[in-house]
Every structure is written in structure tokens, then in C-alpha cells.
Structure 1
Amino acid sequence: MNRTELRLSGSGGQGLITGGIILAEAALHDGLNVIQSQSYGPEARGGASKAEVIISDEAIDFPKVTDCDVLLSLTQLSCDKYLNDLKSGGILIIDESVKQPEREDIRIFRIPILETASSKLNKPMVANIIALGVIYQVTKLVSKESLEKAVLARVPKGTEELNRAALNEGFSLIG
């Protein structure tokens, strides 16, 4: 495994910072080293936001994403902003509302994350959990058990079944 750098990006209010924290906690459950950081625009909701997660089985000597392996973009703006940071051979996971970029040196997964949250679960706020399920299916960076444990520990009480369903939807979006 060594070191894998991930960036979860979109707009404020999509829960991507929480998603980054959950992914980091899942890595900790698996006994891996992890660093998680985040940033968002001053307008918070609707402004640009990103969470960065570095997962490694060795010591992490630099806490920032410098050579992004996996980029999740839920908005066109975030994809445009961070696409050039995705290294050759990297993985891009975009919502189907985002235009597929012209890059042949990366693997691209265009997935209906936001639509699934809105239409299938009737809860747009679980898009981040669906995205985590997709990230798991594509990367297998953490164990499924640790990811589910981290999700259920972090979501508001009373929403556990909704979030478990969202995670399972994310798993099923990748064939």
C-alpha cells in the first residue's frame, strides 16, 4: 500500500469534510496511519470545500496532498479546480452532473452520486456517504467493516439505517 493521497471536493454543505473524517477513522480502525485535513470557502454552504486524506502503512512525513492518487469531485467547479493535481495513473470519481474531462492518463468513474441521494433515498444530505461507498468499491483502501463502523459512529443518532442504506447504495453503484 505505502501512501495513498485522496481529495474529496465539492461545495460546502455536501458533507465532504465529514466524509474525509469518516474515511480517516476507517483507516485508523484498520491500523493504518492517516492524516486528514480540510478547507472550505468563507461562505461555507455553497462555497468550495475539500477534505484531504492521506492513508499509509508507513509513517506519514508530510501532511498535505502533493501527488493526488484519488480525486472525488461532486461539482464541476471542484473538478476544474483540482483535476490538474491528480497524478497520471490516478483515479477520478465524478458525479454524473460533472462533464467528463479530456484526460486519457487517468481512470474515470462517472457515477450518479447526487441523483442517487436525491431520488433513491430522498435525502440529498447522504451523498457524502454514498460517495464513500463508491470510493471503497474503487480503491479498497480500507476494509468494508471499518468503513461501516466509522460511518455509524459519526452520523447523527437516529440516522444510522439511512446512512447504512446510503453506504450500500454507494457499494452497488460500482459493478
Structure 2
Amino acid sequence: MRNEVRFSGFGGQGIILSAVILGRAAVMYDNKYAVQTQVYGPEARGGASMSAVIIDDTPILYPKVAVPDIYVIMSQEGFEKYGADAVNPAMMLVDSTLVHSRPACRCIEIPATKEAKISLGRDIVANIVMLGALVRSTHVVSETALEKAILDSVPKGTEDLNIRAMKKGIELAAGISP
């Protein structure tokens, strides 16, 4: 099954890292194919940034996400630039702490930044909270694969914090998704 996932937020939120972790989980731990692309430049700190991942059971011949079926949006500007045109049957996870608009498609609100700050004491792991929620809501990769990919990708000494962030996202999404 093919999934095209678009991540967007502002520079510094770990948007590109999120896509890299998701692709790594698919390829290294779930025996799938994945391609990750990114857009950054003047957006590097503060402006809207975007990264995308295609995950498939078969080799991927074209690496560009054309019409995402899954969106993970972590800022209002990211929504306006990269998510406002989302329509059914797409699904969008939004960080309800920072995104105030809602799309025309199915929308799951995850207060990632708020929970990262309050529950974990570090808003910098909001992207990992969103990854946990994404995986719980869509099963695009397994939770086990995501955990292993996070452990491969985060700075040494932050593993426990990041795994707690992933589990917080899973918990938040479990209260919402079927």
C-alpha cells in the first residue's frame, strides 16, 4: 500500500527530521520502500518548511509527492502554504496548539506543542509527539519501527525524552482515533 505523507511547519520544529525518521522506520524496520524529499531555504528558521515521504510496498519510481493522502501540519503558515488545499479522502493531523485553520478533509487535532511543553518539559519534542500520533492514527509504519528509528536518529542522551514524546503522541491519538 502506498502512502504519501507531507509534513509542514516552521523552520526549527524538526519537520525534516520527522520525515527522515518516518522513512527510516519504513525502510530499516518495516521492510518497505521509502523516498524522502524536503524544501528549505530562507524558511530554515521561522518560515514555512516542508518535507515529504512516500512509503510503499513496491519500489518507488517517482520521488515527488503529488497529492498527499496524509498531512502532518505543525504551524499556521505551514497549513496555509502546504495544507490548505487538502481534500477528502486525505487525512490531516494538526498541532492544535499552533494551527487554527481546519481543512476540508478528515482532521485530527493533536495539542503536540502544548503537551511537549507541559508533560515533557521540552517543546522541542513536539515533532516526535506528532510522529507518535501519526503512526497511531494511520499505521503507516509500526510503532516498533518508529521507536527504533527514533532511537537511531536523536542525539545521544535524549533517547528517553524522545521515546516518552512518541508515547505521548500515541496516547493522545488513541483517545481520538478508532
What amino acid maps onto 2:69 in structure 1? D
Count of residue pairs the alignment pairs up: 172
TM-score, length of structure 1 as denominator length: 0.94
Note the C-alpha offset of 1:101.
Answer: 2.2
Residue 134 (structure 1) aligns with: 133
Residue 110 (structure 2) aligns with: 111
TM-score, length of structure 2 as denominator length: 0.92
Structure 2: 5+ residue stretches without partners: none
Q: Which has the higher strand share?
A: 1
Note the C-alpha offset of 1:107.
Answer: 1.0
The 1-side partners of 2:153 and 2:124 are apart by 14
What amino acid maps onto 2:172 in structure 1? L
Residue 143 (structure 1) aligns with: 142
What pairs up with 1:40-119 in 2 under 5 angstroms? 40-96=40-96, 97-101=98-102, 103=104, 106-119=105-118
Deviation digits for residues 109-164 of structure 1 (CA, Å, limit 9, x no counterpart) = 01101101111111111011111001001100111111000001110001111011
Structure 1: 5+ residue stretches without partners: none
SS of the aligned residue for 1:130 comes to helix
Runs of 4+ with deviation above 6 angstroms: none
The 2-side partners of 1:159 and 1:134 are apart by 19
> 2:147, 2:163 within 8 Å by CA — same for their partners in 1?
yes
What percentage of aligned pairs have identical amino acids? 43
> 1:67, 1:85 within 8 Å by CA — same for their partners in 2?
no
Deviates more, 1:84-93 or 1:55-64: 84-93
